[in-house]
Structure 1
Amino acid sequence: MTTYLITGATGFVGSHVADLAHARGITVRALARPTADLAHLKSLNAEIVPGDLTDATAVAKAVDGVDAVIHAAAKVGDWGPVEDYRRVNVEGLRTLLDAVKGKPLKRFVHVSSLGVYEARHHEGTDEGEPLPDNHIDGYTQSKVESEKLALEYVRQFQLPITILRPGFVYGPRDRSVLPRLVDRLKEKSIVYIAGGRYALNTTYVGNIAEACLLAVDNEKAVGEVFNITDGEFVTKRQFFETVADGLGLPRPKRSIPLWLARRLATWRERVFRRKNKPHPPRITQATLKFAGLNLDFSIAKARAVLGYTPRTHFAEGMAAALADFKKG
């Protein structure tokens, strides 16, 4: 019997990886907090180990006897002390990697983010791009550090690790980004940056799940890093208008230039940090990157090495995401 440990299996990406693994006859094991909603995992007959990445004993139990680990758990967000992100995204990963050292593991797939690249315009950027040491927020800073840690374990301990970098992940069961976006559309508070003409690095959740399983099965993936997107040029305007039209909400109309958005983000972040605000301002450097920079990345390496072909395109994926959102 083949068993995969999937971290973050109660969350967005991890639950879809669990679905796909279960559909292929693989036993799913999940490390999950007892307070988490386990209904979906139980419907997959998943093995559930109580605990989280900060609990070394629980982690050791979770990895015992598994054939592969797909690490999709992470602390996400664009606000707060970097140490809070490091505790989960770097030190939690270290605990997991230490637990699998010396075990006959087929593959360890680390789900990272295209956010690790420099916050600038990208036009076909591939995996050969060097990563900056310092980033604009705690999440992306910790994801860069977690990648470096994973690759160090490849070199020092010959762990069979593959790193995947998805872009903006969307699809059914998104309980974070889409609900906030819908609220902003209802408030009519969304403002385009540079007319919304730049690319958004859309990645349907089912496509990244497929990439995870491809990485497990491909020997050439060991020690490699792959960009993962839908392989389409979807503009920010196209994205926002698709959501608005699909839910019968008014389309955003206002736009500001990129230079002004940069100044606003810098000013608002400075003010909020000075006042120790627990929540971010409406515009941050991270939201500016999402809404105002051209985020076009090459997936040629994933196509050539992994055999990755995005099965679901933007129109179909957003239709599924919106249908799920309407169900509540």
Structure 2
Amino acid sequence: MLVTGATGFLGQHLVKRLAHEGFHVTAIGRNIAVGSILPHDVHFVQASLEDRDGIFQVMQNQDFVIHCGALSSVWGKYEDFYSANVIGTQNMVDSALFHNIKRFVHVSTPSIYFSLQERSKINVKEDSVLPNPAVNFYAETKRMAEDVVDEAFNKGLPTITIRPRALFGPGDNAIIPRLIKTNQRSGLPFIDGARILTDITYVENVVDALCLCLVSDERTVGKKYNITNGEPMYLNNILERVFTMLGQPMKKREMKYEKILRVASILEKTYRLFHIKKEPIITPYTVTVLAHSQTLNIDAAKTELGYNPRISVEEGINKFAEWWKAQNVNI
């Protein structure tokens, strides 16, 4: 079993689960420090997805591949996203075809559904028309990566793609921690009252989905599946629950959508014009996430993969809060 992105948030949870269930796991990642604390029976290889020869070598004698590796960020250079997400995926599927991998599971993103123009997208299905242009470089290159995987399927590689939405849980270093820091620093932007409907997904539920993809029947091969907790909630209710469990007061900054979007657009254009590497305090993408309702339809995953979210949003938030407090973080 080969897992890419093994030192990332999802990858770590996946590798630990697979090792616990008795799989012989080879884990690829960039972070040596995190790789060193993976389960002792996991074979960790520090490698870059762009290293084509290295990928071909490490995939020898593997039966299954779960491709979690990607450059996931709201900010960065197009070339970096393209190199990691498109070229890296191309190297993975080429190697998988060469080595006759039995099943290739690809982790994509529902960010490809996002649009700056549509304020509400409810119950989005996998075959929904995708916006053009994509909302940012990450979404654009992940959509291209899906095309690469689809092409490999047409050449005979047994593939399955999942699109998990807004992962959270113990070990999260992105979504909730960013909200915590923003709350501490300047308060949380409540755009139009944060009364948007959204999906989030507990990380172990995504691991469940990935494990199901390894053993699902042939009708699932070549398909794509949305993965969420199946519990659409209002963003303000999610935030209130998180900060209540953390025992931290939530500071709201009420904002109007049109005004903050103009500011974010100006900031993004300015940062691009002057090649500023630091991420702007807010971007059109983050405004979109905070201001646009979006929920995903997971009927296909339930019916065809047998996916059933085990950990509820409330239980997941409780688990995250317990973990966060145990880190002795100053909250």
Q: TM-score, normalised by structure 2?
A: 0.93
> Alignment partner for residue 108 of structure 1, among 101, 104, 121?
104
Deviation at 1:50, TM superposition (A): 3.3
* Runs of 4+ more than 6 Å apart: none
Matched, 1:39 2:26: no
Distance 1:305 1:253, change over 3 A: same
Retained in 1: the 8 A contact 2:7–2:31? no
Q: Please name the residue that 1:59 is paired with.
A: 55
Q: Is the 8 A contact 2:112 2:135 kept in 1?
A: no
Per-residue CA deviations over 1:288-314 (Å, capped at 9, x if unaligned) read 122111011100111111010011110
Q: 1:10: which partner in 2?
A: 7
Rounded to whole Å, the distance in 2 between the matches of 1:233 and 1:149 is 31
1:198 maps to 196
Classify the secondary structure of the residue corresponding to 2:258: helix
Match in the other structure for 1:68: 64
**How far, CA to CA, are the matches of 1:163 and 1:284 in structure 2?**
28
DSSP 3-state at the match of 2:280: coil
Structure 1: distance between partners of 2:321 and 2:54: 36
Higher alpha-carbon deviation: 102-111 or 144-153: 102-111
Gaps of 5+ in 2: none
Query: Within 1, Cα distance between the matches of 2:64 and 2:229?
Result: 25
Per the alignment, residue 46 of structure 2 pairs with: 50
Q: Which residue does the alignment assign to 2:151?
A: 152
Whole-angstrom CA distance in 1 between matches of 2:36 and 2:320:
20
Q: What fraction of aligned residue pairs are identical, expressed as a percent?
A: 30
Greater Cα offset, 194-203 or 69-78: 194-203
Aligned residues: CA RMSD:
1.6
1:44 offset after TM fit, Å?
4.5
Instruction: Tell me if the contact between 1:200 and 1:233 (Cα under 8 Å) persists in the aligned partners.
Output: yes
1:1-328, aligned counterparts within 5 Å?
4-33=1-30, 35-41=32-38, 43-119=39-115, 120=118, 121-155=120-154, 157-218=155-216, 219-328=218-327
Deviations 1:205-238 (A, max 9, x none): 1011111111111122210000000000122112
Is the Cα contact below 8 Å between 1:70 and 1:109 reproduced in 2?
A: yes
Question: 1:134/1:61 Cα in 2 relative to 1: closer, same or farther (>3 Å)?
Answer: same
Deviations along 1:172-216, whole A, 9 cap, x unmatched? 111233322211111242111121111222011101111111111
Number of aligned positions between the proteins: 323
Contact kept in structure 1, 2:7 and 2:30, CA below 8 Å: no
Q: Go from structure 1 to structure 2 and tell me whether the alpha carbon gap of 1:18 and 1:280 turns closer, same or farther (over 3 Å shift).
A: same
Q: Which moved more, 1:244-253 or 1:73-82?
A: 244-253
